[in-house]
Amino acid sequence: SYVLTQPPSVSVAPGKTARITCGGNNIGSKSVHWYQQKPGQAPVLVIYYDSDRPSGIPERFSGSNSGNTATLTISRVEAGDEADYYCQVWDSSSDHPGVFGTGTKVTVL
């Protein structure tokens, strides 16, 4: 099945920009969604369709997708952004359509 690879960890100082990558074969041809998961909580959708934000998600969260890499960008990082982040695609032509990335722990220094 399709594989999505993320860096295990990203560290960023408050007020700076965090970039989390999600690598997959020709991922630019797919729609990528991103989730934030804080300790002890269920995941929350923060980006859908590569770059759209659900209502209630701050504009500081943005996304892009091209070639073999999708990227979640968090601008002006705050302490409350410290969490695990997962990318995800839905490949409806596959017998295993639901695929998650390996996850990235964002640490705010």
Interface pick for other proteins out of 20, 22, 27, 33 (rule CB under 8 A): 33
Establish how many alpha carbons lie within 13 A of residue 13's alpha carbon, considering only the half-sphere containing its beta carbon.
1
The only residue of 5, 21, 31, 64 in contact with other proteins, by rule CB under 8 A: 31
Amino acid present at 2: Y
Smallest gap from residue 92 Cβ to other proteins (A)? 6
* Complete DSSP assignment for 32-82: EEEEEE-TTS--EEEEBTTTB--TTS-TTEEEEEETTEEEEEE-S--GGG-
CB of 58 to other proteins, least distance (A): 17
Amino acid identity, position 54 = P
Q: Does 102 bind other proteins (CB under 8 A)?
A: yes
Q: What are the residues binding other proteins (CB under 8 A)?
A: 1, 31, 33, 35, 37, 42-45, 48-49, 54, 86, 88-90, 92, 95-103
